[in-house]
Amino acid sequence: MEKAMHSALDETRKKRWLIFASLMSVFAIGYFHRVAPAVTAGDIMRTFQTTGAALAALSSAYFYIYAFMQIPSGILSDTMGPRLTVALGAAVMGAGAILFGIAPNLFFCYAGRFLIGFGVSVFMVNTMRICVEWFRPDELGRMNGLTTAVGGVGALLAATPLALLSGLLGWRLSFVCIGLVSLLLAWCCWRVIRNRPADCGLPSPWPSGSRARQVGHGSPSLGPAIWQGLKRVVRNPYTWPPFFGFFALYSTLMAFSGLWGIPFFTQVYGISTLQAADYVMTVSLGVVVGCPIVGFVSDRALARRKLPYVTCACAYALIWAILCFSNGGKPPLHYLYPLCFAMGFFCSAFILSIVTTKEVNDIRLAGIAMGTCNTGGFIGAALMQIVLGKTLDLGWDGALLNGVRIYPQSAYRTAFIICFFVTLIGLAAAFLLKETHCRDTVDTPPALSLPGRKKFPYRKIFPPGKEDSRKGRLPLIGLKRQY
C-alpha cells in the first residue's frame, strides 16, 4: 500500500512539470508583449506619427486591462478553474497580437494591445493557483521565482531577437506570426493542464494533515462567499505592504525596460536600436537570474520573506540613484551593462509580493489574494509609463528625426528621478511586510462569513518546528491574528 502511494506521488511530480511547462509557454509570450513596444517604439511612432504620451498610452493599454482583471482572474481561478481560464486567455492574446500586426490605424493598434493585455491578464494568478494545488507550500517561493524567470526569457526574446525579426520581416508580420503561435499554444494548454491532482486521479503533494487538506483546499467554487472573501482580503492590513512593494518595484522596471529604456539609450548615447536592445536584454537577464535565486534564498536559505525583500529593495533604489545622479543622469557607457543587470536582479524581489500576500490570507482565498496583489504592479506599470511619457513631452525641445521625437538628456533625467522616488515607496513598504516564515499564517474559520466588527484576539506563532518555551522549545517569535 505504501509503495503504491509513493508511486502515485511520483506520478504527481512528473505530471505537474508537464502542466507547468505548458503554462510557461504562454506565460513567456505574455511577458514578451509587456516589453515589445520598447523595441518597436520607433517604428510605431513613425508609422502612426504619435507623440511620446500617445505611445505610452498605447503601451499602457496592456497594463490597464491587466490590472483591472487581476481580482476577476483570482475569482475565475477559484471558480471556473485555471485550465479553461488559461486556454481562453491564450486564444484572446493570440487574436490581439494578430489584430495589432494588421492594424490600419492607431485605434486598431489600441484594440489589439487591449486584447493582448486582456488575454495575458489571467496567466500569473492561474499559474500560481496551479502551483498551490500541485506543489508543496515550501516550494511556492521558488516556483514564483522560476515563473518570473521564464517570463524574463520572454522579455529577452522581446529585445535583440525581436529587433532582428522586425528588421527581417517588419514589425507587422512579426506580431502576426507571434499571434498564430499563441493560438496553437492555447490548444496545447487545454489538452495538457489539469486544475488539481485529483482531476487525474493522483494524490496531492501537500503534507498529510496540513491545514489546506483539513479545510478542503482546492474546492472548485466559493459560491456566494466570493464577495465576502474579497472583503476579507481587502480589509486585511497585511495585504497592502506587498501590494505597494510590487507597485513600486515593478512599475519602475516596466517603465524602463518595457518602453523608455531603448529610446533613452539611442537618443542620449547615440547608439543603434540593436545595441540599445542589448542593454535592455541585460535587464531581462538580471530578472531571469535573480528570480530563482531570490526564491531559493527566501524559501530555503533563510525561510523568510521580509529580509530578502528589504535587502533587494535597498539595492534597487541605489541603482536608480546612480542612473539619476551619476554624471548628470548619463552614467558612463561602460557602466551600463552591470547597471542594467543589477536593476533586473534586485528588482526580482517583487516575486515575493504575491506569495507573501497568499500567506497572510485565508488559503481558500489564494486566487483572490494573489490577484489583489498582482493588481498593484500593473496599475503602477500603466501609470508610470504615461507619467514618464508626459514628462518627456514637457521637456521636449522640438527636435525630430525621421518623424520621431528626440528628447534631451535633461528630460530623461527628470523622468528617472520620478522613478527613483517611487522606488523609495517600495522600500518603505518592504519594511512593513509581515514576516510569514514561508508558511500560511491565517487559521481558516469554519465558514468564510466574518464575525461582527470586533477586535480579533491574537495568538502566538513560531517558525516551522519551533514552539513556546513553556513547552520546552524555543521562544515566541511573533503574533498572529486569530480569525
Give the whole-angstrom CA distance, residue 9 versus residue 16. Answer: 11
Backbone angles phi, psi at 383, to 5 degrees: -70, -45
Question: CA Rg, the chain, in Å?
Answer: 23
HSE at residue 3, side-chain half, CA atoms within 13 A, is: 0
Q: Out of 3.40.50.1100, 1.10.10.10, 1.20.1250.20, 1.10.3720.10, select the CATH number for domain 15-195+225-431.
A: 1.20.1250.20
HSE at residue 361, side-chain half, CA atoms within 13 A, is: 31
Domain ranges of the chain: 15-195+225-431
3-state DSSP call for residue 475? coil
41-55, 77-91, 145-159, 364-378: range with highest mean pLDDT: 77-91
Least confident residue range of 93-102, 164-173, 446-455: 446-455
pLDDT computed for residue 92 by the predictor: 95
Model confidence band, residue 291 (pLDDT cutoffs 50, 70, 90): confident
Model confidence band, residue 460 (pLDDT cutoffs 50, 70, 90): very low
> What one-character DSSP code corresponds to residue 460?
E
Q: pTM of this prediction? A: 0.71
Taking only the tens place, the pLDDT of each residue in 44-77 is 888 887 777 788 888 888 888 888 887 788 778 8
The average pLDDT across 376-403 equals 86
Of the candidates 52, 112, 106, 74, the one whose C-alpha atom is nearest the C-alpha of residue 395 is 52
Model confidence band, residue 483 (pLDDT cutoffs 50, 70, 90): very low
**Angstrom distances, CA of residue 297 to CA of 63, 138, 229, 309, 467:** 29, 12, 31, 11, 24
pLDDT computed for residue 5 by the predictor: 62
Burial class of residue 400 (count of CB atoms within 10 Å of its CB; 0-12, 13-18, 19+): exposed
**At which residue does the C-alpha cell 547615440 appear?**
270
280, 159 contact by CB (below 8 A)? yes
Average per-residue pLDDT in the chain? 81
Cα 408-413-414 angle, rounded to 5 deg: 100
The dihedral sign for the CA sequence 92, 80, 124, 8: negative
**Identity of the residue numbered 356:** T
pLDDT at 143 over 50: yes
pLDDT at 368 over 90: no
pLDDT computed for residue 22 by the predictor: 92
Backbone angles phi, psi at 50, to 5 degrees: -95, 160
Task: Centre a 10 Å sphere on the Cβ of residue 170 and count the other Cβ atoms it contains.
Answer: 13
Give the whole-angstrom CA distance, residue 101 versus residue 169. Answer: 12
Model confidence band, residue 456 (pLDDT cutoffs 50, 70, 90): very low
310, 430 contact by CB (below 8 A)? yes
- For the chain, give the number of residues: 483
3-state DSSP call for residue 408? coil
pLDDT computed for residue 3 by the predictor: 64
pLDDT computed for residue 218 by the predictor: 42
Q: What is the largest CA-CA distance in the chain?
A: 78
Model confidence band, residue 292 (pLDDT cutoffs 50, 70, 90): confident
Model confidence band, residue 323 (pLDDT cutoffs 50, 70, 90): very high
**Identity of the residue numbered 214:** Q
**What residues contact residue 338 under an 8 Å CB cut-off, 6+ apart?**
none
- 64 or 183, higher pLDDT: 183
pLDDT at 444 over 50: yes
193: left (phi over 0), alpha (psi -120 to 50) or beta: beta
Backbone angles phi, psi at 94, to 5 degrees: -65, -45
Give the whole-angstrom CA distance, residue 448 versus residue 451. Answer: 9
Give the whole-angstrom CA distance, residue 425 versus residue 239. Answer: 16
Give the whole-angstrom CA distance, residue 204 versus residue 137. Answer: 12
Taking only the tens place, the pLDDT of each residue in 406-423 is 899 999 999 999 999 999
